[in-house]
Structure 1
Amino acid sequence: MAIKRIHTGSPFEAKIGYCRAVVAGGFVHVAGTVGQGGDVVEQCRAALETIEKALKEAGSSFEKAVRVNYYLPDAAEFEACWPILTEVFGANPPAATMVECNLIDPKYRIEIELTCLA
């Protein structure tokens, strides 16, 4: 089975030893992705932009999403992201889970992990 690894050049990729996405077994597995910005909405948009670039390189798209996990240090902030997520996934929403937990740095308000069909 062929495996394709997609790197975005994030300094965390080299420091931690991972890549943004891996295409294997008919799926694109996108690593937990944070975005830059001052609040959860800006960070959500930025994370989705990074994910979209990786999906395009993998030959996939949000329309092929089958599973998404959202990680937030404060679950109360999640609702502010709902309109963005509805816009991105449109008529093809994936199965989803939201987990309240600590992230790698307190400045991050949301991390998004996604699995799509290749």
Structure 2
Amino acid sequence: MSPSRKLISSGSPFEARIGYSRAVVQGDMVFVSGCTGYDYKTGLISPNVVDQAEQTFQNIAAALAEAGAGMQDVVRVRYILPDRKDFESTWPVLQKWLGNVRPAATMIQAGLMEEVMKIEVEVTAKIDR
């Protein structure tokens, strides 16, 4: 592994079982893997897509902070929802977290790993050093 590569874990049991990191820092780039609405401290997830979106961004912000970055450094975001009809209800949360940043974005409708998951979000950030 390159000395400029840093692996970040959230403590999610999925990371060890599947073999991935919550985020990878490579040089000045931070790649945050798909985050869902699980609260990693409690292992719980709300059944509500808006609540899940909020928790998802809290999880992303924590990974970025550990990488030495913040939401202001996000350059790309990808939203994945099993039901595209849920997307619009999450917009206030997305606006709250990324409204001033306005990264390039894509929304994809696809099944997620567990039925309870209503949104998954991945981001790429560039740290200005």
TM bin (shorter chain): over 0.9
User: Equivalent residue for 2:16?
Assistant: 14
User: Equivalent residue for 1:26?
Assistant: 28
Mapped to 1, the partners of 2:26 and 2:80 lie a distance apart of: 24
User: Equivalent residue for 1:48?
Assistant: 57
Percent of aligned pairs with the same amino acid: 44
Mapped to 2, the partners of 1:69 and 1:92 lie a distance apart of: 14
Mapped to 1, the partners of 2:10 and 2:86 lie a distance apart of: 27
Mapped to 2, the partners of 1:68 and 1:109 lie a distance apart of: 17
2:90 aligned with 1:81, yes or no?
yes
Residue 59 of structure 1: which of 50, 68, 74 is its match?
Answer: 68
Mapped to 2, the partners of 1:93 and 1:16 lie a distance apart of: 31
Q: CA RMSD in A?
A: 0.9
What SS class does the counterpart of residue 84 from structure 1 fall into?
Answer: helix
How many residues are aligned here?
Answer: 118
Shift of 1:13: 0.4
Shift of 1:90: 2.7
Unaligned runs of 5+ in 2: 38-44
Shift of 1:25: 3.3
Shift of 1:92: 1.2
Unaligned runs of 5+ in 1: none
Q: Which amino acid aligns with 1:111?
A: E
Greater fraction helix:
1
Q: Which amino acid aligns with 2:25?
A: V
Q: State the 4+ residue runs in structure 1 displaced beyond 6 angstroms.
A: none
TM-score relative to the length of structure 1 = 0.96
Deviations 1:15-65 (A, max 9, x none): 000010000132100000101211110111111111100100001011111
